[in-house]
Structure 1
Amino acid sequence: LYSVKIFASGNLDEYILEDIIKAGAPIDGFGIGTRLDTSSDVPYLDCAYKLQEYAGKVRRKRSRGKATLPGRKQVYRYYDKDGKMSHDLLTTEDDKQDGRALIEPVMIGGKRLSPPRSLEDIRAYTSSELSLLPDRFKKLKDHPIYPVKISERIEELVKKVDREFR
């Protein structure tokens, strides 16, 4: 029966897959469905638009547990000596840094700036980026949180906005 392929499916998620693989189960393939492509603990995106700038002036929400960082942002990514991601820096749009800028405009005035990327391009880009993420951040359990630092410019802006709206 060595020619028989074993295929597992039915309510599989990333944790069950990890356990099956670690146990060395002789499974040749997996049927991945609802539990992996829909987050069972948070099956929808609960989000709200929060104003960060209005009429050229920065704004922020200050409610406890809901506070936001004011102004238009840019995120810069930094790499270690081996070319692996080390941390990101969140700063204002106009605060140029030496890391790699991650936020790029795709639309201005309702007009697309370039054609959409193909699924193949998106897949290749995602694979390339994941290869630069250190392995310690890829674990399903007991992984550290990827470091995202807040710039001094943002921290100063928070204080300024808070002083203006007391």
Structure 2
Amino acid sequence: MVVWFNPKTGEFRSVAHGGTARHLKAQGWRKVLSSGFAKHYYLYSLPSEKTGEYVPIIISRESHRPYTPNDFETYEQYKSYDDKIRRLRSIAWRWADAIKCASDPQYLFEKLISAVKRKKEISREDLKFALSLLPDKLRKEAVATITLVEG
């Protein structure tokens, strides 16, 4: 059995019969994963602003994200927020902390300084991204502290 996805409607369908699969493929459906693996994942779809078609989103059932694609209107909004939280998790490991950092610059500043003082491994890209989220005053203070600690 295979799970198929229709990019025009955002619908998922599980199909076992080969004739039905050929019919779906002819209608523009795409294979996304086998039904055996599907039980380990949540399946979502969101419309794309760029293409106008739906994009399949497959998330492991073991993921501890406190948000789902259903919380967003478009795929680009979801992807942007998800990337932002993933980058902030290099500074604040817990999901709740990373989400709070995304909305509270003071909290992000405290977590960033704490991570730098603990000599936590943070990539240059993630550090630049975190600094870009801070207001000017906090950014200057953070850069000064980072320079002192690394210096």
Q: TM-score, normalised by structure 1?
A: 0.21
Larger RCO, structure (CA 8 Å, separation 6 or more) = 1
Structure with greater helix share of residues: 2
Q: TM-score, normalised by structure 2?
A: 0.23
**Bigger radius of gyration, 1 or 2?**
1
